[in-house]
Amino acid sequence: MDVSGAVEAREAAGRTDERRPGAAPPGRRPGGPTGAALLAAGRGFVLMALSLGVSLALFVMTLVSLVLTLLGIGAAGTPWLLHVVRVHADQRRVLAHEWAGVDIPTPYRPLPPGPYGLTGHVERCVLMLKDPATWRDLCWLLTDAVAGFVLALLPTALIGYGLEGWVMFAGVWRAVAGDYWYGFVHLETFGDAALCAVLGSALLVLARYVNPHLITAHFRLAGALLAPTRGARLSRRVEQLYETRHDAVDTSAAELRRIERDLHDGAQARLVAMGMSLGTIEALVERDPEKAKQLLGQARASSAEALTELRDLVRGIHPPVLAERGLGDAAEALALRTQVPVETDIELPGRFAEPVESAAYFAVSEVLTNAVKHARAAHIWLDIHYSYEAGGMLRISVTDDGQGGADVSKGSGIAGIERRLGPFDGIVAVSSPPGGPTMVTLEIPCRPVPRA
């Protein structure tokens, strides 16, 4: 759950936005290709300022700070400056996603939490300088100030220079005749001014079609340096698998302890009491038949209670409806048992692997419980669909019309869901603005499995 949490939630629920409270229909680019070209020119102007102004300034300042660090006097300030560089790079990642749909993952290694003393600053500086992403950021700053600036300049320049041709044709050519070149046209006569208009029209037509692609090229150039390398991705993947393996082991151990505790405190205690009652009955059956009958009734009641507790325990481990009928029907049963009205939209191609279905079922159960307990929702929407894109993805979204403003960092519910989905490379995205609605989206890579 990271940079694109809210965006993932919107994408996962695109087909049902029109019936959700506070949802807006999907946007369109204003004005078609012409509007997109003008928008790209405006964005290019912003990117020019960021590239030539901020990136170049940060590159120079960072270079000076690193030299001072080598001299032993810059270790305290270098981490803060590198942090500013990362904030600048993260801003470009956000713009890349929002303006061009280019996703640039964050490659930085985790740092120890603050606050920092002098020793902590030195340690933080060493860790940041050992991170390959830091040096890639510096390469990007210089590249962004040169090539990135040119790519950002072109959309604005094409439109501006194209309009200039028509300005010349409108009569300005008379004031500059003989002393001005427009492109390859030497302005001397009205025919030259007309040729300027033709050339300007060609540039405007070119801008109409290439401007959005130039902005995309700007961000792809940034992604080539800001995105993690293949080695970094593999290293992060190994760390993720290591963490999810330990989480899965810890979760399994905790679940086993819970089962043992429930058996010991519940069904086992009742069965032991029932065995003692039967022993007493055996001693009383001939001497006091009435008392023996009374104890038999109590033993029968204890056996029924023990059976109920065992059924509840089994249902908590793997619900029978999930085992027999699959995730779709099990989720429908969850919705029917929820205290708040739940509207469901479930469309699945079949069954999935039992561990996947179990993880998805209990994740949905946890999210519905949170919506009822904490969101004070009056209505809940549950959508479960399967997409064959990207190798197959099970997408689950739970939306409520509650008060919103959920702080994921203060609760253990979402963290528990992340740990449950982690072994399957599943992700959790939460969008909960103050006032609602709250949308929780779960995505689990998986494929349907044939059932005999």
Q: Write down the pLDDT at residue 233.
A: 63
Q: Write down the pLDDT at residue 451.
A: 60
Tokens of 354: 């039992």
Closest CA to 16 of 393, 343, 390, 433: 343
Q: Are 359 and 426 in contact (CB under 8 A)?
A: yes
How many CB atoms neighbour CB 187 within 10 A? Answer: 21
The domain ranges of the chain are 31-226, 238-317, 322-445
| DSSP percent split of the chain into helix, strand, coil, nearest 5 | 70, 10, 20
- Determine the residue type at 316: G
431 backbone dihedrals φ, ψ, rounded to 5°: -125, 115
- Determine the residue type at 259: I
CATH code, residues 322-445: 3.30.565.10
Q: Write down the pLDDT at residue 266.
A: 64
Tell me how far apart the alpha carbons of residues 42 and 160 are, in angstroms, rounded to a whole number.
Answer: 11
Closest CA to 56 of 32, 85, 29: 85
Q: What b/e readout covers 94-124, taking b as 16+ CB neighbours within 10 angstroms?
A: ebbbebbebebeebbeeeeeeebeeeebbbb
Tokens of 54: 């901020």
Tokens of 386: 């399967």
Q: Are 13 and 396 in contact (CB under 8 A)?
A: no
Going by C-beta distance under 8 Å and a sequence separation of 6 or more, which residues neighbour residue 425? 444, 445
Burial of 133 per CB tally in 10 Å (0-12, 13-18, 19+):
buried
Residue by residue, DSSP assigns 68-89 as HHHTTS-TTTHHHHHHHHHHHH
| pLDDT by 10s per residue, the chain, length 452 | 333 333 333 343 343 333 343 333 333 445 688 888 899 999 999 999 999 999 999 999 999 988 888 887 766 678 889 999 999 999 999 999 999 999 998 888 877 666 554 456 677 788 888 888 899 999 999 999 999 999 999 999 999 888 888 888 887 777 777 788 888 888 778 888 888 889 989 999 999 999 999 999 999 999 999 988 776 666 666 666 666 666 656 666 666 666 666 666 666 666 777 777 777 777 777 777 787 777 777 777 777 776 766 665 555 556 777 878 888 888 898 888 888 899 999 999 888 888 888 888 888 888 888 888 877 788 999 999 998 876 789 999 999 888 877 766 655 577 778 877 877 888 888 888 888 788 899 999 988 887 65
Give the global pTM. Answer: 0.57
Tell me how far apart the alpha carbons of residues 169 and 193 are, in angstroms, rounded to a whole number.
Answer: 5
Q: Write down the pLDDT at residue 70.
A: 82
DSSP state, residue 146: I
Q: Are 92 and 222 in contact (CB under 8 A)?
A: yes
- Determine the residue type at 330: A
Tell me the torsion sign for CA atoms 107, 112, 117, 119: negative
Q: What b/e readout covers 405-437, taking b as 16+ CB neighbours within 10 angstroms?
A: ebeeeeeebbeebbbbbbbbebbbbbbbeeebb
Tokens of 93: 């990642």
